[in-house]
Amino acid sequence: MSPLRQRLRRSPLLQLWLARFRELYRDPSAIFWIYGFPILMVVALGIAFRSQPVETIRVDVIAHADAAETARLLGRRSDAHLRLQVAVHPAELARRRLRTGKTDLVIELSRAGSGGGALRYRFSFDESRPEGRLARAAVNDRLQAASGRRDTAQVLPDRRTTESGGRYIDFLVPGLLGMSLMGGGMWGVGYVIVDMRIRKLLRRFLATPMRRRHFLSAIMLSRLVFMLPEILVLLLFAYFAFGVVIYGSLLTVTGLILLGAFTFAGIGLLVASRARTIEAVSGLLNLVMMPMWILSGIFFSWERFPEAFHPVIQALPLTALNDALRAAMLEGASTGALLLPVAILAAWGSVSFALALRFFRWS
């Protein structure tokens, strides 16, 4: 046997990594959660929020002598990007439909004076919903045009484009990548360590001539190795199924993925460094992950939160990772333009790993 092979066989780091590798690929459920679940998330959310070139606005007209004519008038005009779905309902039913989100706008009709005066319209909508504001503007525009209003400004025909990069699925995929890196890194490391502690496997490792850093590094490296094909499968599926493309450097994106996996594996090590039960580590992992699930911009931009929270949100590792991935994938940002989020991720990963080495216990 060559000296190189002898050194490799005696390497604690390599042997621990190989043991973790064999344990993971022999578990079919682990393979599903690593490779299958992220793809199912992309499929479900990509279909739910797919691009819809024609917007449908639901409008209810309260029953009145002129309600049928108003509904016919609104439904007669048709735009290439907007369609009104108009129905006539009693007042109580129309207001209940508005309250429960089944319609976007309610129109109440009345006549000026006591007799056959001019027809008047009163709009009711939920101003907190963008659909309500859009419905109010569209319906008012159609009613004014039907009453003889003339638009004097000359507007040339629209130039309508649909390109990848600005759709919701393009925004979503980097967020799902970050979520997958966070979940895989923290659960794939933290849960495994506590499970080994419960089964008394860590005490057996303690009796070997292995150092603590060898064991923790092997756990992190095994996570990194499994993370790369997982992310590759997700990116390829998003490209072929939804046309999601990467405008930036593949090298930059790969570096961000590796850094994100390292960061969350380090946080997972720290969370599991002293937990002794599955219940304890599950609670701690959820406690750490839940704020980032909500605040870090996986499914919508974190800028929607009040500005007072922005400094705290930007300091979270998942926020830094998602922002960096979106900048690299959608905007083509270079590595030099991503120094701040890279520094945040590196700081979280390095400090977490150092603290895990300090506080880790075998039993």
Do the domain assignments include residue 158?
Answer: no
Element (H, E) at 105: strand 105-111
Residue after which a domain boundary falls, among 80, 111, 145: 145
- Quick one: average pLDDT of 210-224? 74
Q: What are phi and psi of 56, to 5 degrees?
A: -105, 125
Assess if residue 162 is contained within a domain. no
Q: Does 152 map to a domain?
A: no
Q: Running DSSP on this structure, what letter comes out for residue 153?
A: S
pLDDT band, residue 347 (cuts 50/70/90): very high
Instruction: Tell me if the pTM is above 0.75.
Output: no
159 inside domain: no
Same domain, 78 and 191: no
User: What pLDDT is stored for residue 225 in this prediction?
Assistant: 72
> What was the pLDDT predicted at 50?
60
Residues 255 and 298 occupy one common structural domain: yes
* Residue-level pLDDT at 38: 67
In a shared domain, residues 63 and 42: no
| Averaged pLDDT score across all residues of the chain | 80
Does 156 map to a domain? Answer: no
Q: Does the structure show a pLDDT above 80 at 291?
A: yes
356 touches 266 (CB < 8 A): yes
Give the per-residue pLDDT at 188.
77
Measured from the Cβ of residue 322, the count of other Cβ atoms closer than 10 Å reads 28
d(CA 168, CA 249): 21
Question: How is 155-224 classified by DSSP, letter by letter?
Answer: -PPP-----TTSSHHHHHHHHHHHHHHHHHHHIIIIIHHHHHHHTTHHHHHHTSS--HHHHHHHHHHHHH
Token pair of 123 as six digits: 């709009």
Q: How far apart are CA 64 and CA 120, in angstroms?
A: 12
User: d(Cα 33, Cα 27) in Å, to the nearest integer?
Assistant: 10
pLDDT of 135 higher than 70: yes
Q: pLDDT by residue (tens digit) across 102-131?
A: 888 999 988 876 656 778 889 998 887 888
Residue 269 pLDDT exceeds 60:
yes
User: Where a domain ends, among 84, 110, 145?
Assistant: 145
Calculate what percentage of the chain has a pLDDT beyond 70. 77
Q: Do the domain assignments include residue 117?
A: yes
What's the rounded Cα separation, in Å, for the pair 50 and 44? 10
Statement to judge: residues 43 and 89 lie in one domain: no
Tally the domains of the chain: 2
Domain of 90 in residue numbering reads as: 55-145
The pLDDT of residue 339: 93
